Amino acid sequence: AVTTATMAPLTDLRPTPDDITGDALAGLSATPKRLPSKYFYDARGSQLFEAITRQPEYYPTRVEIALLDAKMAEIAEAVGPHAHVVEYGSGSGRKTLQLLEGLQDPVAYTPIEISRTTVLAATERLAEAFPGIEMLPVCADFTQPVELPEPAREPGHTLVFFPGSTLGNFTNDEAVALMRSMRETMGRNGQALIGIDLEKDTGVLEAAYNDAAGVTAEFTLNLLARLNREIGSDFDLDGFRHRAVYSRERGRIETFLVSQHAQTVTVDGRTFDFEAGEAMQVEYSHKYTDARFEDLAARAGLKVVNRWNDGDDWFGLRLLQP
Ligand code: AVJ
């Protein structure tokens, strides 16, 4: 009863459905070949990502959760009361729980997700924990500006929450475009709280994306399994190996699937030849310095007004305003 009182029906902005076949064909036709990392997250991929966050080498999730915990009083003070919290994407909900618990009397929570079932499941879990916060799930593509549903109680302002360094999966130009839409969505007195992974020792970075248990390799290869399942391609999962390397020049982990021998793959009736050792690019994970991140924010018309790092400067939270 408490749940239904605060749970609004889904606002469905009818995002254009993903064209997996078209995207795969375009990527495989490019030189060098690539596949988009957004397709990692089917049910199995999301499960594997959760498993990655439990690997000893993968520090970002652990460090960000500890950082949120340690700095929540300061964050709440800087954000101010009565926020309408708008989350871009929704993961396990762990960090959302921390934020909604720590903020001063937030009036509403809006997760924005491309998947209707995911966004509803995330909201239902939180609705039980926060009967006093209006839940306003939105199905939309968060890379575009979103017209937000209006909370019953007048919010002080909008706070966009984008944790997990998900921003890092976008190229710098894409990250600027995304932050520009974020600025439109939040409005003139809005804010954004963004989690960013920071540049550090190459050994630490590469270990995080090449865990000893091989969970990240399985996560990467699941992309091929998903394509085989959903678009009928015939990738041989034993014929490709995961490789993640840090480019200090480009400030990012670059993940590839490397063809172990010469082979041909068929997708939607078209064939693609791989040479032995050919590397297909499947994911970027940008690692930021203050200068690099502030430059991207500035290009999007946003200013960094507060910054919080863990004691080792491994991970950061940044509060941005127009
Ligand atoms: C979910 C985007 C934060 O890039 O670190 C983890 C995804 N890929 N290991 C990241 C990921 C390989 C992750 N993010």
Q: What is the pLDDT of residue 92?
A: 79
Query: How far is Cα 52 from Cα 206, in angstroms, rounded to an integer?
Result: 14
Interval 217-272: pLDDT, tens: 999 999 999 999 999 999 999 999 999 999 999 999 999 999 999 999 999 999 99
Q: Minimal CA–CA distance to 68: which of 163, 149, 139? A: 163
CA angle in degrees (0–180, nearest 5) for 266-270-274: 55
Average pLDDT over residues 205-217: 98
Q: Minimal CA–CA distance to 275: which of 285, 261, 265? A: 261
Residue bearing the CA closest to ligand 1, atom 14: 166
**Is residue 204 pLDDT above 80, yes or no?**
yes
Residue 14 Cα to ligand 1 midpoint, Å, equals 27
Query: How far is Cα 265 from Cα 228, in angstroms, rounded to an integer?
Result: 11
If pLDDT is split at 50, 70 and 90, which confidence band does 8 have?
confident
Ligand 1 atom nearest to 197, measured from its CA: 5
Residue 273 Cα to ligand 1 midpoint, Å, equals 28
**Interface pTM (ipTM) of the complex?**
0.99
Interval 179-199: pLDDT, tens: 999 999 999 999 999 999 999
Q: Minimal CA–CA distance to 119: which of 97, 140, 143? A: 140
* Ligand 1 residue neighbourhood (C-beta within 6 Å): 52, 60, 164-166, 168-169, 209, 216, 219, 283, 285
Predicted TM-score (pTM) of the model is: 0.96
Q: What is the pLDDT of residue 286?
A: 98
Interval 109-137: pLDDT, tens: 999 999 899 899 889 989 999 999 999 99
Of 53, 169, 246, 287, which is best to mutate to test ligand 1, by the most ligand atoms within 8 angstroms of its C-beta?
A: 169
| 3-class state of residue 133 by DSSP | coil
Interval 287-305: pLDDT, tens: 999 999 999 999 999 999 9
Which runs of consecutive H residues, i.e. helices, occur in 80-201? 94-102, 116-129, 172-186
Q: What is the pLDDT of residue 262?
A: 98
**56 alpha carbon, distance to own chain's centre:** 20
Sequence-separated (6 or more) residues with CB below 8 Å from residue 52: 58, 211, 215, 216, 219
